Amino acid sequence: MGYLEEMSLQLENQNFPSFIQLWEEYRSSTEVPADEIIEIFETVRDSEYQEHFGPYAEEGLELIDKLDDSDKKLDVLRVILDLQTSNSESLAISALTFLKEQYGEKPHYNEKIRLVGLRAQSEFQGAIRNFELLSHMEEGKFIYHTGGWGVGEIMDISLIREQLSIEFENVLGVKELSFKNAFHNLAPVSETHFLARRFGNPDLLEKEAKEDPLAVLKLLIADVGPLNAHEIKDELHEVVIPANDWAKWWQSARAKLKKDPQVQPPESISQPFVLLDKAISHLDSFKELLEKDLEVEDFLQKSYQFTKQHLEILKDSELKALYREKLLKHLSHLQDSQELLKIQIYILIEDLFNDNLDQALIKILEADIDIDYLINAFHIGPLKKKFLEHIRKQRPDWPALFSSIFLNISQHFLREYALKELIKAEHESLLKETLKKLLEHPVMYPECFFWYFQKLQTSKDLLYSNKDGQMLFFECLFVLLYHIENKPEYNDLVKKIHALISKKHYQLFRDNVADTPIEFVREILLLITKCQAFNNHDFKTFLSLAKVVHPKLDDQQGANKEEDSVIWTTQEGYQKIQERVHHIATVETVQNAKEIEVARSYGDLRENSEYKFAQEKRARLQSEMKLLSSQLSQARILSPDDIDVAKVGVGAIVELVNLKGKKLKYTILGPWDADPDKSILSFQSQFALEMKGHKVNDSFEFKDDTYTVSGIQSYLS
């Protein structure tokens, strides 16, 4: 373990004395790399021992004498000055010597020396870095605010007032900063730096990004540091690349970025793209990969991904032979029970090298293996379809297997393949049975249901694509939405369903209720009232669209039922009841079961009061959980569209004046949010019911007093 690693470990372990001991040893080294010295100081700076190390920082001057490169000497001296707290004469002389050499002939040199504390030599921590910042600070130059204000352009600077004016990207208006504040919060940024260019001329940067996306991305990573795909989007989306152009631009730019020999691409979406100091050829990179001692799963994924991104690799016959040899070597070491890995290697060799390994693969496929498990557990996704092709070719029971895969597979392109093969082979009865499962149990196969539902909207040649079939699937879509909309794992699917239903002014609803019986439309409207994804405005829109088809539909159809049964609540109120139900089910019920068992052990249940109390508690818990669960199904979370400030109703903040002129203010919410001490009333309370429907300047009587509505606001505004 090197000094840097060991010293970092001591700081992490909060062992400062051991760190100082290592520091003393390090100082006595005959040769020390400048980059390592700087990294040691930066590690201390980022730790909780920065101030403790201050008195020792000056000792780093001894290390500077061991360096040859003058630029490196300045870099080391800079970090020493950043940490030191001794403010000694030797440190001041060293700093002044370097600054005189670099900046002695520049304007205002002596004034800047005074501003950074080197003239008085009483307090000059960070003197070199501060002097460099002062030298950078000129009108029109760019700086970066480390406290979150982003990049800024210097508009004005005064050495007399010791302050500067800056316009920042993340702050409105021009900000005045003192030099003292600037020393603590600003860092110089060159005009060619990505952040300066984005702030100074985003239109030009957009033009360059579209002409040469790779150059702009490399500039971004070089200046800002390694970034993953999400972080790159944060830096470029809308600011440089317009939102409408982003998807197409990033798709092309990412492909180029992954192929660039100077860029180390990530292995997963959360990992960053890293810019290397020098370009490494893809052939050399792949050779390194072949030489690594990786686990077979890891090797398969990385090698396959590499060859697909860089197709030229397999044009090198020597490298191709080495790759094949490595795959066969892995294959020879696998156990009989490792069918998953064997299948993937067989298919990979066949795909890349045209080797005929059918017999070995057939032997595995003919065995009693769990196809559903294998296809979902594949380490290399693109090989899954080839695996299914082998199943289709070798297994006589492939239709049943494809039916199961159709329902359970997560990748839609495989679901599409399974469906096409079943249709092509004319297995209509099996397909009908499979689709019937979707209709009867949409919650068991939500992704598959939604995928097939979408296909039915555009295709007229599929099973259930006739009007009766589409009605069945349309009704089940709302049943599915109702059951999954409060399950976090289905958040994305709920958003997709809602977006599909509401886009183009609810075109999907119009298409699917056209030429349908009134009873069917009533059932759909009733299902919509149960789905929290839709608010009152949505329901009114659905109702008006339905009346175009069936004018006889009563305006109150569903609305009165909803008004009578719905429990209005805020997000917080809903979550509170959910947590209460969860606590009863997972904590109190379990504790009560233990109490019953303990009480049962006391014997003679007829005279056993502990057993009786425990049983009564169970009945209360069951009753409460049943009631709350039922209420949750009736609950609807308030949205801004549900609140009508033209008259008093749920979600309103109502201002009242009584006969004596006293001003009162009440908030009307659901029973779960009610808090009389805070003047929050349930919409079911008598006072709230008396207010309901009144407008501003309306008066009403309640309990021997008269109240006038003086104002109505929205609780969610």
Mean pLDDT value across residues 422-438: 91
What is the spatial distance between Cα 447 and Cα 532, in angstroms, rounded to a whole number? Answer: 20
Q: What is the pLDDT of residues 36-51, one digit of tens each?
A: 999 999 999 989 999 9
In the prediction, which pLDDT does 472 show?
A: 92
Mean pLDDT value across residues 420-445: 90
Residue recorded with tokens 């920082």: 57
Rg (CA), the chain: 36
In the prediction, which pLDDT does 471 show?
A: 92
pLDDT at 126 over 90: yes
In the prediction, which pLDDT does 147 show?
A: 87
Mean pLDDT value across residues 135-140: 94
For residue 152, what are its two tokens? 């800024």
What is the spatial distance between Cα 568 and Cα 714, in angstroms, rounded to a whole number? Answer: 14
In the prediction, which pLDDT does 357 show?
A: 61
In the prediction, which pLDDT does 605 show?
A: 57
Q: What is the pLDDT of residues 236-247, one digit of tens each?
A: 998 899 999 999
Name, in order, each residue with C-beta under 8 angstroms of 522's C-beta and a sequence gap of 6 or more: 553, 557, 558
pLDDT at 529 over 90: no
Residue recorded with tokens 């508009």: 155
pLDDT at 103 over 80: yes
In the chain, what are the domains?
3-143 (no CATH), 194-280 (no CATH), 281-389 (no CATH), 474-565 (no CATH), 567-637 (1.10.287.180), 641-714 (3.10.50.30)
pLDDT confidence bin for 612, thresholds 50/70/90: confident
374 within 8 A of 340, measured Cβ to Cβ: yes
Cα 302 to the center of its chain, rounded Å: 25
In the prediction, which pLDDT does 532 show?
A: 77
For residue 513, what are its two tokens? 């209720």
Q: What is the pLDDT of residues 263-307, one digit of tens each?
A: 988 877 889 999 988 888 888 888 888 888 888 888 888 888 888
Name, in order, each residue with C-beta under 8 angstroms of 406's C-beta and a sequence gap of 6 or more: 415, 418, 419, 422, 434, 448
Least confident of 42-46, 484-488, 634-638, 713-717: 484-488
pTM over 0.75: no
DSSP summary character for residue 227 = B
Taking each helix axis from N to C end, the angle separating 16-27 and 3-12, rounded to the nearest 10 degrees, works out to 160
Mean pLDDT of all residues belonging to the chain: 88
